[in-house]
Copies of this chain bind each other. A is one copy, B any other.
Amino acid sequence: MAASPLPGAVKIVEVGPRDGLQNEKEFVPTQVKIELIDRLTQAGFANIEAASFVSPKWVPQMADGAQVMDGIARRAGTIYSALTPNLRGFEGALAARVDEIVIFGAASEAFSQKNINCSIAESIERFAPVAQAAKANGVRIRGSVSCSLGCPYQGEVPVESVVDVVQRFAALGCDEIDIADTIGVGTAKRVHEVFEAVTKVFPRERLSGHFHDTYGQALANIYAALEQGIAIFHASVAGLGGCPYAKGATGNVATEDVLYLMNGLGIHTGVDLDQVVAAGDFISRAIGRNNVSRAGKALLAKQQSAAACA
């Protein structure tokens, strides 16, 4: 058993509407995105990654960020986040009354060079004006450290690189920082090593675990992180989103599976699992995609057999 008790409550950040749907090939209609976010709001999430204010040339799937933010029914207390790669994106997010902006950088030098053609340090410096503008306007800032547990190009990522990016984000004034396993290669031991190191330079309660289930490890990783007192986790309803580095493989961990774990551990989430299962069924049908949440599929199967017996 863990040396210290697990957290009594956690925040689950639902990333399906942005991180998940961004990976869909077909454009998802704005009205479908809005209904998904509204269902997730009603299910009780305190934080939903709702949109991306990036150039539609880069990410056409997210071109309707302003309309989505305008159409959703917000709940007081819920934080609606959006990705903002530059000042122009920040201005769009500000106009759309986004509560939190997300900036990002890789812990892998090879990934940074290959994806955005600059060093890790340069990539994060470029966010300085965005971070300043967010601070000036009282908008929360979240920093996402991709490839924290491994990289599709260089393989191993040194723990020191993760710590370095966390420190750079902290210097920009990030309120929250995500340790993201972008390709799902990490296991519980590495999770432990990385959080052990980053909690020395940034407050534990403002660090989150963003795990992918590509190798089936996400829930074991979350459990290992819980044992270290990490209490913010990202998840995607119905497991929306794939892995761009392994076609057909799984991407973000499914929210339903994470909630099932937290419920079993007696950890408060404030989120209603049944409503999330229904939201996962809704979006999977709406976009014609397999629901890859194991708990979601099992709970839907049970509902159907109960309905058949009634």
A220 to chain B, nearest CB (A): 4
Q: Which residues of B contact A248 (CB under 8 A)?
A: 297, 301
Tell me which residues from 12 to 68 in chain A have a Cβ below 8 Å from any Cβ of chain B: none
CB of A264 within 8 Å of the partner chain: yes
CB of A257 within 8 Å of the partner chain: yes
Which residue of B213, B295, B298 contacts A294 across the interface (Cβ within 8 Å)?
B213
Interface residues of A, count at CB 8 A: 46
A25 to chain B, nearest CB (A): 17
With known contacts A1-B2, A265-B188, A257–B223 Cβ distance under 8 A: no
**Can you list 21 A-B contacts with CB-CB less than 8 angstroms, sorted by A residue number?**
A1-B3, A2-B2, A2-B3, A3-B3, A184-B298, A186-B264, A187-B260, A187-B263, A187-B264, A188-B265, A189-B265, A215-B260, A215-B295, A220-B220, A223-B223, A223-B224, A247-B304, A248-B297, A248-B301, A249-B294, A249-B301
Supply 10 further A-B pairs (C-beta < 8 A) apart from A189-B264, A213-B294, A249-B294: A1-B228, A190-B264, A214-B298, A215-B294, A215-B295, A216-B257, A217-B257, A220-B222, A246-B302, A250-B294
